[in-house]
Amino acid sequence: MSRSQTQRRKRIVQTAAALAVRGGVEAMQMRSVAERAGVALGTLYRYFPSKMDLVVAVVTEELDLLEGGIVRRPPTADSPAERAVDVLLRATRGLMREPELADALIRSLIMAEVKIELDVRISDLVWRVATGNLEGAGTAPPGEDPAAGVDRTGAGYVLVGSLTSVWIFELVEVLKGRRDVDEVERRLRTAAEHLLVAF
């Protein structure tokens, strides 16, 4: 994308996020987003073929902010399990600031409405934090894999992936009103202590 296209895309995502903050995902009507972002409706659809693609872009930006925050202020706990839980709790709190967006994202994961690899993205980040390998994180150019070089087939990474799966399930439970963040924290700590014991 050219610089102007990148800026236009960013403006669209920021506009959508602002609408969602005020009125939830329902307020993110494509026509409203286009009007407020100052782009034609057809242009918006070229960048984002569906509303769910736009929701994913907004949540992806949140994940970028999360990763940037972790790079700037990495977890300082002694154990890999505690560092992993720190990352997942920061992600939970970030997503729960906009529960409607989090709900739409989780639904997209379950229904496979769009291709998104939230679990892989979070697993990569948790893996890098747990293993103390944050070098280069948050610095990949747009469109390039920020976790290039991560071996996703090793036993340690598979265990981190299992912890991420637990986190996604717990996030669903929060969104359903069955858990609060304190209970999620307790459950994540227990899971991390058992899954990452060999780190």
Residue 112 has pLDDT above 80, yes or no: no
List all residues 6 or more positions away from 100 whose beta carbon is below 8 Å from its beta carbon: 20, 24, 25, 26
- Residue 109, pLDDT score: 66
The CATH class that applies to domain 1-49 reads mainly alpha
- Residue 108, pLDDT score: 64
Mean pLDDT lowest for which of 123-132, 135-144, 182-191? Answer: 135-144
* Domain extents in the chain: 1-49, 50-195
Which of the pair, 181 or 138, is modelled with greater confidence? 181
Confidence of residue 61 (pLDDT cuts 50, 70, 90): confident
pTM over cut 0.85: no
- At 62, which amino acid appears? E
C-alpha triplet 184, 62, 134: angle, nearest 5°: 80
List all residues 6 or more positions away from 48 whose beta carbon is below 8 Å from its beta carbon: 12, 30, 54, 57
In CATH, the number for domain 50-195 is 1.10.357.10
- Residue 138, pLDDT score: 45
Count the Cβ atoms, other than its own, within 10 Å of residue 104. 23
Residue 45 has pLDDT above 60, yes or no: yes
Give the model confidence (pLDDT) of 4-34 as tens digits.
999 999 999 999 988 887 777 778 899 999 9
Residue 139 has pLDDT above 50, yes or no: no
